Amino acid sequence: MLIEHHAIEPALSQRSPRFVRALALLIGVALLCLGLVFTGTQPAHAAGYTVSGTLSFPASTPSALKQPVKYTDSDSQGIYLTLYEAKSGTVTGWELGTDANVTFDPNTGAWAVKNVPNGKYRLTISLHLPKNGTAPGTNKEITVNNANVAAGKTAFTESGRLRASFAVCGWKSTDSVSHYVRNTATGAVTKLQPAQSGWVQPSTQCPPEVGYGNYDLPAAGIPAGNYTAYTVWNGVTQYYTGKDKPTSWSASKAQVFPVKVWEGNWIQTLYEKVTPYADVPKGHTFFAPVAWMYENGYAAKAVNFYPANTMTRGAMATMLQRINDSDYQPSASLKLPYSDVQKTDTHYKGIAWMYENGYAAKASKYHAGNAVTRGAMATFMQRMKAPTYQPSGNLPYTDVKKTDTHYKGIAWMTENGYVAPASKYRADAPLTRGAMSAFLNRIFA
């Protein structure tokens, strides 16, 4: 019940003091009967309730991070603690360091937001670290319903932090793109997750079709150390080479960067596929693996790649030698057993490397100009990557038997996921240059 004072004061001013005292007495008795008499101070909950909790920090936490966040043009660090209405549109809320009803005791870690009305709220607590870092703490919805709320403890951890922004040129909504970081010492891989901090602007080097956004580590962070970053885009891996630089298809070109404790790190990169071949434009089925072949020097620069042409045994030998042993030079005294291979031949170096390493069988002829079949390719790959491999289990192909010449190679390819499951393998079918680049990319990238 609300008493509008301006509605009764004019009437009272026109009455005698005796009448006023009598009327006041009657009103007081009536309010007492109704239980509406004010005692001079309101109940504690009349202005709202208190939401409170505690923060805990490892002993190594810098003192600057145990204070309310201080925003600057260049950097911001400290405790970010907000309580805002959990609804869409314009919301009311409070922030530590900005609103007087939000308090924090750095000695005990206790915090409180006072005078909070009933309703649903979003509580967000994190640490802003130097160099654009964030250590997440609490992000949850709470309800204030005629009582104070204990939000519990937020415990920060001593972990490395990283924020990454990626521009994926040529991206389509149907593409599969995932981002990862890898510890160079342990080999441990961590998948990044989308961050709730908006979007980055696409690079001017990108075409109109571009996917871009911010990514973050899981809440637990990662151990401090040196890392590389890479993206797997439609099954093909590309490596971070530096801020706002095109990525590389080669792991050897990946930039190593430090991830530190109590300090952020921000990497920004441009993912762009490049190929010089007129007959392998963006959108081509084999665009990604052919670009990988070109960038790494496994395929020569030319006007066309001829992805639909048959891959010859000689060309395959050259590509494999470039991928596995780019510095190889045949000895002057080397004598190959193949009567159809001369030292002046285009693919002599590759064939010599295949022979010296036992990847090509000893025979009277090599048949460098013949097509590479899918079966022969499987055998070559298995000899290189897993020479002691022995098959186990059954294959899904109706046209491959355990007595077949290339059974072991086909089994190895299948078990390792280098060929897609199908009813037939077609071991005798010739490989195209495009398909060969895809197999090489899957196996050696």
CB of 288 within 8 A of CB of 441?
Answer: yes
Residues 222 and 148 in one domain: no
| Domain range for 23 | 5-34
| CATH code for the domain in which residue 60 is found | 2.60.40.1120
* pLDDT the model gives residue 32: 39
Q: Is the pLDDT of residue 250 over 60?
A: yes
**Domain-embedded: residue 134:** yes
Residues 347 and 211 in one domain: no
Q: Is the pLDDT of residue 325 over 60?
A: yes
**Domain-embedded: residue 21:** yes
Q: Per-residue pLDDT tens for 338-369?
A: 999 999 999 999 999 999 998 887 889 999 99
**Domain-embedded: residue 78:** yes
Q: Is 440 left (phi over 0), alpha (psi -120 to 50) or beta?
A: alpha
Residues 179 and 150 in one domain: no
Percentage of the chain exceeding pLDDT 70 = 82
- Which distant-in-sequence residues (6+ apart) come within 8 Å of 376 by Cβ? 313, 406
Q: How far is CA 113 from the centre of its chain?
A: 34
Residues 10 and 141 in one domain: no
Residues 95 and 179 in one domain: no
Residues 127 and 17 in one domain: no
Amino acid at 165: S
The SS3 call for residue 235 is: coil
Q: How far, in Å, are 221, 280, 356, 403 from residue 34 at the CA level? A: 59, 87, 105, 99
Residues 75 and 178 in one domain: no
- Among 206, 237, 271, the domain boundary falls at 271
From the CB of residue 47, how many other CB atoms can be counted at a distance below 10 Å? 12
Rounded Cα distance between 430 and 411, Å, is 18
Q: What is the largest CA-CA distance in the chain?
A: 134
Residues 125 and 184 in one domain: no
- Among 237, 271, 305, the domain boundary falls at 271
Query: Per the confidence metrics, is the pTM higher than 0.75?
Result: no
Rounded to 10 degrees, what is the CA torsion of 335, 341, 343, 344? 170
Mean pLDDT of the 167-183 span: 78
Residues 25 and 54 in one domain: no
Residues 359 and 338 in one domain: yes
| Domains of the chain: total | 4
- Which distant-in-sequence residues (6+ apart) come within 8 Å of 383 by Cβ? 358, 359, 409
Rounded Cα distance between 133 and 161, Å, is 6
